[in-house]
Amino acid sequence: SLAIAWGSPDILVKTNDEAPFGSISTNGGDTWTDFATYPANTVGCVSYFCGLRNIALSSDGATLVWSPVNAAPSRSVDGGMTWT
């Protein structure tokens, strides 16, 4: 899954089917920073399925919403450092 912050198009997020499962870019996709953590219950998923879910990004890039396998939809306001 890939999402773009349409109000700040240099900010993108993506999910992966293998670890690290998700990343953020603040320079239009030139470089990516892996999320520091995963939403609750993500750890119990099969290693190659964790990121196979949609991710969304607010238009200003400040809020991410992600629901990996075996996890409730979660929100991050710090670029994937923490999830609630």
Between 21 and 79, the more confident residue is 79
Angle CA 5–65–63, to nearest 5:
50
**CA–CA separation, 7 vs 49, rounded Å?**
30
Q: Which tokens sit at 35?
A: 């999320």
Across 36-57, average pLDDT: 74
Using the predicted structure, report yes or no on whether residue 1 has a pLDDT greater than 80.
yes
Q: pTM of the full predicted structure?
A: 0.86
Q: Identify which has the larger pLDDT, 65 or 20.
A: 65
pLDDT at position 33 = 96
pLDDT at residue 80 greater than cutoff 70: yes
Percentage with pLDDT > 90 across the chain? 58
Q: b/e per residue, 6-24, with b = 16+ CB within 10 A?
A: eeeeebbbbbbeeebbbbb
Terminal Cα distance for the chain, rounded = 20
- pLDDT bracket for residue 71 (50, 70, 90): confident
